[in-house]
Structure 1
Amino acid sequence: MSDTPPDRLSANPDSPFYDAAAMERGVGVRFKGVEKNNVDEYCVSEGWVRVTAGKTVDRKGNAMTIKLQGEVVPYFRDEAPSE
């Protein structure tokens, strides 16, 4: 696995953009220069993040999200595992 997080990543296992290896390693996101801890999904090339909207859920029990536009900088929280 490279030292660069994926361009697009989702925390939802049902999403096609879910990456278990990246999630296990821990990905942090800086949005507009501010550390965000409630990011559900992000896309660097398109410049957006989806953040959870409090404790609100939809009728299927999934967290409600809000899409925000701006500069997205993902990073890995820990070092790459050495082989």
Structure 2
Amino acid sequence: MSETPPDRLCNDPRSKFYDEALLERGIGIRFNGEERNNVEEYCVSEGWVRVAMGRALDRRGQPITMKVKGTVEPYFRT
């Protein structure tokens, strides 16, 4: 595996940016210099993350998310 995290990654299995092997390895996200644990999806080149909005769910049972723009720095935890 590569030592650099991908440009875009999502933790929803229905997404084309989902990669189970990378998620099992452990990806950490630093967003605007702050460690974030509630990131659902990120894109480094476009500079945004999707974060869950509390515990609210949509009608399909998926968390409601909000796209926030800023500096995204992914890294491997292990």
Same fold (TM over 0.5): yes
User: 1:67: how far off?
Assistant: 0.3
TM-score computed with the length of structure 1 as normaliser:
0.93
- For 1:59 and 1:20, locate their aligned partners in 2 and report how far apart those are by CA, in whole Å: 25
Greater Cα radius of gyration, structure 1 or 2: 1
Counterpart in the other structure of 2:67: 67
Unaligned runs of 5+ in 1: 79-83
TM-score computed with the length of structure 2 as normaliser:
0.99
Unaligned runs of 5+ in 2: none
- For 1:21 and 1:60, locate their aligned partners in 2 and report how far apart those are by CA, in whole Å: 25
- For 1:71 and 1:31, locate their aligned partners in 2 and report how far apart those are by CA, in whole Å: 6
**Residue type of the alignment partner of 1:67:** K
Would you say 1:24 and 2:24 are equivalent positions? Answer: yes
State the identity as a percent. Answer: 62
- For 2:36 and 2:66, locate their aligned partners in 1 and report how far apart those are by CA, in whole Å: 13
User: 1:6: how far off?
Assistant: 0.5
Counterpart in the other structure of 2:41: 41
- For 1:35 and 1:73, locate their aligned partners in 2 and report how far apart those are by CA, in whole Å: 9
